[in-house]
Amino acid sequence: MNRKLKLLGAFAALSLVSGAVFAAEQYHDTRYHMDHYYPARGASVGALPSGHFPVYDGAHNPYYFHGGVWYRPYGGRFIVVGPPIGVFVPFLPAYYTTVWVGGYPYYYANDTYYNWNPGQGQYEVVDPPGDSAASTEPPAAAGELYSYPKNGQTPEQQEQDRYECHRWAADQSGFDPTQSVGGAPPDPSKRPAYDHAMTACLEGRGYTVK
């Protein structure tokens, strides 16, 4: 009986320690009123999450992108890192916020900023803008649609659906809210057509749009 109690006690202590390690390896992103947890940079994992996206920097070093988290190979495992400036991804993380600087939108998640690069047709990792000039309030007529999954779509599926709907809506309307002209938002008169197309696309894929 005593041996069994000792084993249970040891297991409980190990669980507490493991929980503390797990908590220490989590990063709580609260910038710009975000409230989301990510694996902390420097933490390592034995396998990449399903659905990760491979990215290569200018020297062809491999990185892997998943849900706003970036990984690199490290001694047979994968370590959580910050992405290099200038790499591209085809979609934004499911949890991001738009940060406006001088009427130009940046997309923020997990201490990383992205811009839409029309030449590449992808989102580029960029240097952070000056926080003193940044605002989460959009300029006039540059409001943003918010979508909520109704069918249990995974964060990865949400990322892909929102990106594909955005590209389709931009093509249909001739309006792209991720681009600016001379530092100013694009022609606001085309915004309703974009919003209508974006809403129709997302609702058709099982989202509530507001």
Residue 97 · residue 75 · CB < 8 Å? no
Q: How far apart are CA 41 and CA 64, in angstroms?
A: 14
- Please give the structure tokens belonging to residue 27: 């990063």
Q: What pLDDT is recorded for position 148? A: 83
Buried-exposed string 155-193: b where 16+ CB fall within 10 A, e elsewhere: ebbbbbbbbebbeebbeebebbbbebeeeebbeeeebee
Q: What pLDDT is recorded for position 160? A: 79
Helix residue spans in the chain (DSSP H): 2-24, 155-173, 191-204
For the chain, give the number of residues: 210
- Please give the structure tokens belonging to residue 19: 């929980």
Q: How far apart are CA 128 and CA 110, in angstroms?
A: 12
Q: What pLDDT is recorded for position 15? A: 39
What are the mean pLDDT values of the chain's consecutive 10-residue runs (210 residues total)?
45 38 70 88 93 93 95 95 95 83 83 88 88 58 69 80 84 76 61 86 87
Q: How far apart are CA 192 and CA 210, in angstroms?
A: 13
The DSSP-derived string for 24-65 is HTEEEE-GGG--EEEEPTT-EESSPPTT-EEEE-TT--EEEE
Please report, for residues 138, 176, 199, the alpha-carbon distance to residue 142 in angstroms, rounded to integers and kept in the order given: 6, 10, 16
- Cut 0.85: pTM above it: no
